[in-house]
């Protein structure tokens, strides 16, 4: 691993591959993913709504395009509670995975995947928090507690945090995590709310981050993807 090692991670709520034109187009989502130029992508709403919750973005479509998928235990699903983690084939080596139930009125969860990456050992956590503020606070606290019980390594959280506030009250609830300055990513056609967030732990820095604005992202989902170029930090 060189001192200049960098990993681009993105987070994208793909709305079950249904775009603002109300058409389900998985390959349009692939176009957005390709233009993101990310090595790792955390997805939300990656599965269809009704049981058995089949993948909205089919495994074979991703595999044909050179992506690998963490098997998180859903039969036919891409992820768990709609949360999935994919990465470019050959870019990282999977070393562990799991999922975390989250408290609240709605059924919500998080997934984690551990990698041997260009940055060294790395854990990526993906989540989609609830719509109720009190539940979101409980979910962040619970997520922080559960992650503290996992083997220690640098960590990235990413996902749809459903928080409209430009200065989130969630940030102080996870002492190990540093949330990146929020960028508006929702709704896609006219972004107003910073619902999608990325946070990094000690040992990691960020060389740049932003919202992906290239077409067809403005129509592929109701969210725009966000990204961060993550580096090691002494």
**Sequence ranges of the domains in the chain:** 6-232
What is the mean predicted confidence (pLDDT) over 12-37? 97
The pLDDT of residue 105: 84
**Is the alpha carbon torsion for 91, 114, 175, 197 positive or negative?**
positive
Query: Given a cut of 50, is residue 1 above it in pLDDT?
Result: no
Query: Given a cut of 90, is residue 234 above it in pLDDT?
Result: no
Out of 3.30.70.890, 3.40.50.720, 3.60.10.10, 3.40.50.2300, which CATH number does the structure's domain 6-232 have? 3.60.10.10
**What is the overall mean pLDDT for the chain?**
94
Adjacent-strand bridge partners of 231: 6, 205
pLDDT tens-digit readout, 168-213: 667 789 989 999 999 999 999 999 999 999 999 999 999 999 999 9
pTM equals 0.96
1 alpha-carbon distance from chain centroid? 24
Residues in CB range of 132: below 8 A, 6 or more apart: 104, 105, 106
Q: Cα(213)–Cα(226) distance, rounded to whole angstroms?
A: 9
Q: Cα(179)–Cα(170) distance, rounded to whole angstroms?
A: 9
């Amino acid at each position: 691993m060189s001192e200049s090692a960098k990993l681009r991670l993105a987070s994208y709520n793909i709305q079950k591959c249904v775009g603002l034109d109300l058409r389900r187009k998985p390959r349009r989502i692939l176009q957005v993913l390709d233009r993101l130029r990310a090595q790792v992508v955390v997805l939300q709403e990656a599965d269809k709504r009704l049981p058995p919750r089949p993948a909205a973005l089919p495994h074979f479509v991703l595999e044909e395009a050179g992506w690998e998928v963490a098997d998180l235990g859903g039969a036919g699903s891409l992820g768990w509670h709609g949360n999935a983690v994919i990465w470019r084939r050959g870019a990282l080596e999977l070393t562990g995975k799991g999922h975390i139930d989250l408290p609240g009125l709605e059924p919500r969860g998080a997934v984690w995947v551990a990698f041997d990456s260009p940055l060294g050992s790395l854990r990526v956590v993906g989540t989609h928090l609830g719509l109720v503020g009190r539940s979101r606070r409980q979910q962040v606290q619970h997520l922080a507690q559960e992650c503290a019980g996992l083997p220690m390594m640098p960590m990235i959280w990413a996902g749809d945090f459903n928080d409209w506030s430009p200065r989130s009250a969630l940030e102080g609830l996870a002492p190990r995590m540093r949330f990146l300055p929020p960028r508006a990513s929702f709704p896609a056609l006219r972004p107003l709310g910073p619902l999608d967030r990325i946070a990094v732990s000690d040992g990691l820095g960020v060389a740049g981050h932003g919202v992906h604005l290239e077409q067809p992202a403005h129509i592929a989902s109701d969210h725009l993807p966000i990204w961060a170029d993550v580096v090691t930090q002494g």
